[in-house]
Amino acid sequence: MRVICKNLKKVFGEGPTRVDALRGINLDVHDGELLMIMGPSGSGKTTLISVIAGMLTQTEGDCLIGDRDLNHLSDEEKTLYRSEHIGFVFQAFNLIPMLTCCENVSIPLLLHHVDRKTAEQKATKILQDLAIGDKANISPAFLSGGQQQRVAIARALVHDPDLIVCDEPTSSLDHETGAKVMELLRTIVTDHKKTLIIVSHDPRITQFADRIVRLDDGRVVS
C-alpha cells in the first residue's frame, strides 16, 4: 500500500502552548517498502505515524493511504478502514491484562466478526511464529517487556493488514530477539508485498530497511 504525505502539518494547542509537531512533511512510501523513520526525541516521528495510521488528524496538508484520505472519513469509517488495512504496534503495547495473550491478539479478527475459534487459531499461529506460542493462554501481565512487545506485534499482524506501522518495535528486545522479529517483519514485507513503516532509535536494525528517513523538529532532513 502506497502512502503519500503532502505538506503535512500538525499543531497541538494554541498561543503560548502551541506546538508545531509536523512542519510540512512531504513523504512518499512505496508499495512493498520497509521504511524506517529515525530522529531525536520530539522530532515528530510518533506524530507522523499516528497521522498516517489515522489515529490523529493533520492540521494541514494531505495524507493518502492507498487512494484514501483518512481525514475525509467519519470516525466510524476511519476505524473500519484501520481495522481492515492497517496494523499498528504501539510503543506502550496497549495490551489488555484481563485477557490472555491469545485473546489480545484475536481482537482485530473478532472486530471483523471472524468466529472465535478461527480467530484464536490464527492468533496462536502467529504467536508461535514469534516464538511465544507457549504464552498464548496466560495474561500479558505475567510476561517480560520483550514478550509483551511480541504479543503487540502479533496483534498488529494477525488480520493481514496492507500497511503495518510500528513505534519502536525492538525497544524492549535484546539484540538476538530484535533481529528475529525484524527478520519476520522483513519476510512479511518481501513475501506478501506489505508496506511497513517503523519508527526507531535502534541502530542495530537499520540493515533491514529499504530506506531511512530522518526527521528533526517536525521536518524531513534526509
All three cell numbers of 152: 503487540
Q: List b or e across 108-122, with b for residues whose CB sees 16 or more CB atoms inside 10 angstroms.
A: bbbeeebeeeebbeb
Instruction: Report residue 123's pLDDT band, with 50, 70 and 90 as the boundaries.
Output: very high
Instruction: Report residue 174's pLDDT band, with 50, 70 and 90 as the boundaries.
Output: confident
Which residues are CB-neighbours of 29 under 8 A, at least 6 positions away?
A: 2, 3, 4, 35, 195, 197
Residue 53: HSE in the Cβ half-sphere, 13 Å Cα cutoff = 24
- Average pLDDT rounded to a whole number, residues 155-182: 88
141 φ, ψ (degrees, to nearest 5): -60, -20
Q: Which domains, ranges and CATH numbers included, belong to the chain?
A: 3-220 (3.40.50.300)
**pLDDT reading at 71 higher than 90:** no
Q: Which of 109, 162, 152, 115 is nearest to 132 (CA)?
A: 152
**pLDDT reading at 172 higher than 80:** no
Q: Output the pTM of the full model.
A: 0.88
All three cell numbers of 204: 542495530
Please tell me the least confidently modeled range out of 53-67, 129-143, 146-160, 172-186: 172-186
Q: Which of 162, 165, 161, 197 is nearest to 29 (CA)?
A: 197
Which residues are CB-neighbours of 62 under 8 A, at least 6 positions away?
A: 4, 5, 6, 7, 8, 69, 71
- Average pLDDT rounded to a whole number, residues 59-68: 92
Q: Which residues in 85-177 belong to E strands, given as ranges?
A: 86-89, 163-167
Please tell me the least confidently modeled range out of 16-30, 47-61, 83-97, 107-121: 83-97
Per the listing, cell 484520505 goes with 69
- Average pLDDT rounded to a whole number, residues 83-104: 91
Please tell me the least confidently modeled range out of 78-87, 172-181, 213-222: 172-181
Mean pLDDT of the chain: 91
